[in-house]
């Protein structure tokens, strides 16, 4: 039996689907709330569903094959520091201690938000010297960074850890079951209905010399690739460490939108608007993961090209009455 925290969320529900397809028994720990997250699990089989407030009691006396810890407050705009630290850091520490004491593999979600403005690059060096140089720009990224440092420091000191541990620094993940995320959805999911209806899609103008409007770039990775990395780790227990999970290729927001228009066979209709003053100073114009450590660890599942990923997402999910996996 495996535990997936955040299993009703975006990435978590896709991992649960893959585990179901592999015939594995899955327990989900999450909060469903009132935003329709339950639909992410409506097609799944669960051995149990545990609220986060009851998790540590539920774990007493249990034996698990592995813990996939994806649960977190993931809004980059979150401002309740105490709640974020309790949810993203302290609960993660309790799970780390439980997995260590019970010799249970722990695969957990970190984030590319730990890299901050990218001034230090996007290399997934897990040495303490490298980690200490990172400066996350928001509360969410900082909370994830704190946990990365706690695990990496134990590893550097040779202290006890789970038999396998892996922190995954997800870059810009998009795909089915992200619809409950509101403004945190991918821009493709947020703008798809506009594209379909023929309304103009608005992208930010560039306010940086040498970069064209709409040419701000991200490492967009389809959720199926993220799931494939996770499943590979579950089947490769001798691999531990902190790894970037991105494609290694930055693409523009314009490319993303043009791929959606192409998938639908619609003439592009893109408008460029001024970026709000309040975010211009902190806006990232470029993110691109370095994936050599993951590849050198033995991962050979590949990554889906942006155009192919968008076409799959559009034709199999977004452009159908039932958009859920």
Please check if 69 is assigned to a binding site.
no
Does the residue 313 lie in any domain? no
Q: Mind listing the pLDDT tens digit of every residue in the chain (325 residues)?
A: 999 999 999 999 999 999 999 999 999 999 998 888 999 999 999 999 999 999 999 999 999 999 999 999 888 888 899 999 999 999 999 999 999 999 999 999 999 999 998 888 999 999 999 999 999 989 999 999 999 999 999 999 999 999 999 999 999 999 999 999 988 899 999 999 999 999 999 999 998 889 999 999 999 999 999 999 999 999 999 999 999 999 999 999 999 999 999 999 999 999 999 988 887 777 888 999 999 999 999 999 999 999 999 999 999 999 999 999 9
Q: Environment class of residue 239 by beta-carbon count within 10 Å: exposed (0-12), middle (13-18) or buried (19+)? A: middle
* Residue 145 assigned ligand-binding role: no
Confidence (pLDDT) at 95: 97
On whether 30 is known to bind a ligand per the annotation, the reply is: yes
Note the helical H segments in the chain. 10-21, 55-59, 81-84, 91-101, 128-132, 139-156, 187-197, 223-234, 253-264, 277-280, 292-296, 306-313
Q: Is residue 204 part of a domain?
A: no
Q: What is the pLDDT, as a whole number, of residue 181?
A: 92
Residue 278 in tokens? 């309040």
Global pTM value = 0.95
pLDDT for res 77: 81
Residues 3-35: b if buried by 16+ CB within 10 A, e if exposed: bbbbbbbbbbbbbbbbbbeeebebbbbbebeee
114 domain-assigned: yes
pLDDT attached to residue 231? 98
* pLDDT value of position 282: 74
Q: Which domain holds residue 295?
A: 2-175+221-248+286-304
Angle formed at CA 143 by CA 139 and CA 146, multiple of 5 degrees? 135
C-beta separation of 313 from 175 below 8 A:
yes
Closest CA to 86 of 100, 103, 73: 73
Q: What does the pLDDT look like over 247-293, one tens digit per residue? A: 999 999 999 999 999 999 999 999 999 988 887 777 888 999 999 99
pLDDT tens profile 126-135: 999 999 999 9
- pLDDT reported for residue 280: 79
Q: What is the pLDDT of residue 284?
A: 81
* Closest among 46, 70, 31, 313 to 177, alpha carbons compared: 313
Asked whether residue 158 is domain-assigned, the answer is yes
Residue 34 included in any domain: yes
Residue 60 marked ligand-binding: no
Q: Both tokens of residue 192?
A: 């798809």
Residue 260 falls inside a structural domain: no
Q: Which residues are catalytic?
A: 140, 181
Give the C-alpha distances (Å, rounded to integers) separating 191 from 245, 279, 287.
25, 20, 21
Q: What are phi and psi of 252, to 5 degrees?
A: -85, 160
Q: Checking DSSP bridges between strand 217-218 and strand 251-252, what pairing results, if any? A: antiparallel
Q: How far apart are CA 268 and CA 260, in angstroms?
A: 9
At 266 the pLDDT is 94
Residue 164 lies in a domain: yes
| Joined tokens for residue 180 | 């409950």
Phi, psi for 96 (deg, rounded to 5): -60, -45
Q: Give, in degrees to the nearest 5, the angle at Cα 189 between 124 and 34.
A: 95
DSSP structural state of residue 180: G
What CATH number does the domain containing 54 carry? 3.40.50.720
CB atoms within 10 A of CB 75: 15
Domain annotation covers residue 108: yes
The number of domains in the chain is 1
Euclidean distance between CA atoms 294 and 282, whole angstroms = 29
Confirm whether residue 74 is marked as ligand binding.
Answer: yes
Please choose, from the candidates 72, 204, 95, the residue with its C-alpha nearest in 3D space to the C-alpha of residue 143.
72
């Amino acid at each position: 039996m495996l535990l997936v925290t955040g299993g009703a969320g975006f990435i978590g529900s896709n991992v649960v689907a893959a585990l179901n397809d592999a015939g594995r028994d899955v327990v989900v720990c999450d909060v469903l709330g009132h935003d329709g997250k339950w639909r992410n699990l409506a097609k799944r089989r669960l051995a149990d569903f545990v609220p986060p407030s009851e998790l540590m009691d539920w774990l007493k006396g249990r034996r698990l094959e592995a813990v996939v810890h994806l649960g977190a407050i993931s809004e980059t705009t979150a401002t309740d520091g105490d709640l974020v630290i309790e949810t993203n850091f302290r609960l993660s520490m309790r799970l780390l201690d439980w997995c260590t004491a019970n010799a249970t593999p722990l695969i957990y979600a970190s984030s590319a938000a730990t890299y901050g403005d990218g001034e230090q690059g996007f290399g997934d060096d897990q040495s303490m010297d490298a980690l200490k140089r990172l400066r996350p720009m928001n509360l969410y990224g900082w909370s994830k960074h704190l946990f990365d440092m706690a695990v990496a420091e134990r590893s550097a000191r040779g202290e006890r850890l789970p038999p396998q541990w892996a922190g995954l620094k997800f870059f810009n993940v998009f795909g089915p079951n992200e619809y409950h995320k509101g403004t945190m959805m991918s821009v493709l999911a947020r703008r798809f209905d506009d594209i379909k209806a023929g309304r103009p899609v608005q992208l930010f103008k560039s306010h940086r010399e040498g970069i064209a409007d709409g040419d701000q770039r991200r490492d967009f990775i389809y959720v199926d690739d993220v799931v494939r990395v996770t499943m590979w780790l579950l089947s490769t227990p001798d691999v531990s460490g902190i790894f970037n999970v991105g494609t290694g290729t930055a693409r523009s927001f314009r490319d993303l939108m043009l791929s959606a228009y192409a998938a639908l066979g619609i003439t592009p209709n893109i408008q460029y608007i001024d970026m709000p003053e309040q975010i211009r100073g902190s806006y990232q114009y470029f993110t691109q993961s370095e994936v050599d450590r993951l590849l050198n660890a033995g991962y050979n599942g590949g990554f889906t090209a942006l155009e192919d990923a968008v076409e799959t997402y559009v034709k199999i999910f977004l452009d159908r009455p039932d958009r859920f996996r």
